[in-house]
């Protein structure tokens, strides 16, 4: 005959095991930089996730508020300010100054924004 404490023990161990496995399965499902997925098919990414996003490159668009040497203070079109530092590796086709509307391709490296390219918006 099976006693009540054994039944409770087996049921509680089963519940703990199931919860632990579900958390482990969720931890392995990292969405990466492109979390949008086709419904019903969790392993297929939507086509709108382009190569730049996969490489960690973001596009910042806004208006230049201030230029201080190689540092630009840009107010993004969503109202947030961001500081960009250009260096010898930054691709710039023309001189950019205060009041210009710009588009910057940026990649974060060691908590700093590395500006890959900077150009005027028309």
> Tell me, what's the pLDDT at 49?
63
> Tell me, what's the pLDDT at 122?
76
> Tell me, what's the pLDDT at 35?
56
Domain range summary for the chain, segments of one domain joined by +: 51-120
From first to last of the 122 residues of the chain, give the pLDDT tens digit. 678 888 888 888 887 777 776 665 555 555 555 555 555 455 554 445 666 666 778 889 999 999 999 899 999 999 999 999 899 999 998 999 999 999 999 988 777 778 999 999 87
Q: Which residue has the tokens 């969405």?
A: 31
> Tell me, what's the pLDDT at 3?
85
> Tell me, what's the pLDDT at 51?
66
Nearest to 114 by CA among 60, 62, 64: 60
Contacts of 44 (CB under 8 A, 6+ apart): 37, 38
Q: Enter the CATH code of domain 51-120.
A: 2.40.50.320
Read off the pTM: 0.57
> Tell me, what's the pLDDT at 93?
81
């Amino acid at each position: 005959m099976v006693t009540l404490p054994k039944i409770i023990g087996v049921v509680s161990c089963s519940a703990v095991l199931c919860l632990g496995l579900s958390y482990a399965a969720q931890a392995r499902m990292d969405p990466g930089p492109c979390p949008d997925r086709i419904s019903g098919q969790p392993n297929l990414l939507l086509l709108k996730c382009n190569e730049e996003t996969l490489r960690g490159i973001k596009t910042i668009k806004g208006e230049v508020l201030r230029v201080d040497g190689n540092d630009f203070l840009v107010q993004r079109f969503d109202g947030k300010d961001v500081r960009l530092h250009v260096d010898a590796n930054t691709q710039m086709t023309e001189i950019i100054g205060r009041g210009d509307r710009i588009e910057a391709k940026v990649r974060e490296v060691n908590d700093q924004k590395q500006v890959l390219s900077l150009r005027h918006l028309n």
